[in-house]
Amino acid sequence: MGALVRLLQLLVLLLTLPLHLMALLGCWRPLCKIYFPYFMALLTAQCNRKMERKKRELFGQIKGLMGASGKVALLELGCGTGANFQFYPAGCRVTCLDPNPHFERFLTKSMAENRQVQYEKFVVAAGEDMKGLEDGCMDVVVSTLVLCSVQSPRRVLQEVQRVLRPGGVFLFWEHVAEPRGSWAFLWQQVLEPTWKHIGDGCCLTRETWKDLESAQFSQLQMEHQPPPFKWLPIGPHIMGKAVK
């Protein structure tokens, strides 16, 4: 099976050779940083229509964390275009974090369309090193379709625990690998080297549920879901919450 994967990877590489040459020469990544927000704006709009009920279920839990103040400090990792803002209840003070500064114009538009939330700031940083945020400063951290593209999911989860207050909640919705040994997993392996360039570092074969299970949250609730788009190589999803 391994030999078949390598052979098919080579065929895909040959078919997408210009892309890989641009990446090798350092030309592709700057271009990707510019085009990727537009790609995500189109994809997340479709995704929200398909996943509206599930997202409302996930983010509806935020209301229970507000207490007497009616406010909640929320950090969204890899905030992208702000596709989740419409699902946040009134009283959320939202800090956005993303390593791609080209998302900021999309965030400004999303905030203008969702006046129920208070926009705090946009932090240009990777999730593995959120040194601009103090320990225990957040009530909620949100991550949707982010842990697939970070350098180290485990390091990101460590940072999530650091910035969460005791009892704070991490809400997640992430795509993960198909079952090992399946044909779907084989094709994810074949396409992953090329897909990483197209998807700004997105990995198709991560078993992110294992990172969550080993992150030592006090509570972890997680459900597996089928992929929302059959025409993409992105596999099943996991959704849930973890409590510090």
pLDDT of residue 16: 92
Q: What is the DSSP letter of 87?
A: G
Tokens of 171: 């809400």
Q: Is the pTM of this model over 0.75?
A: yes
Cα–Cα distances (Å) from 145 to 6, 9, 125, 173, in that order, read: 27, 24, 17, 6
pLDDT of residue 228: 81
Distance CA 229, CA 224 (A): 15
DSSP letters, 19-64, are HHHHHHTT-HHHHHHHHHHHHHHHHHHHHHHHHHHHHHHHHGGGGG
pLDDT of residue 59: 95
Q: Which of 182, 219, 187 has its CA nearest to residue 204?
A: 187
CB-based contact 25:16 (threshold 8 Å): no
Q: Mind listing the pLDDT tens digit of every residue in the chain (244 residues)? A: 788 889 988 999 999 999 999 999 998 988 888 888 888 877 777 888 888 899 999 999 998 888 778 899 999 999 888 889 999 999 999 999 999 888 888 888 888 889 899 989 888 999 999 988 999 999 999 999 999 999 999 999 999 999 999 999 999 999 999 999 999 999 999 999 999 999 889 999 999 999 999 999 999 999 999 888 877 889 899 999 999 9
pLDDT of residue 217: 96
Angle between helices 17-24 and 28-59 (to 10 degrees): 100
Domains of the chain in sequence order: 1-243 (3.40.50.150)
pLDDT of residue 79: 86
Tokens of 97: 């974090």
Distance CA 235, CA 241 (A): 20
Report residue 3: phi and psi, to 5°. -65, -40
Distance CA 95, CA 123 (A): 8
Distance CA 14, CA 18 (A): 9
End-to-end, the C-alpha distance of the chain in Å comes to 41
pLDDT of residue 111: 86
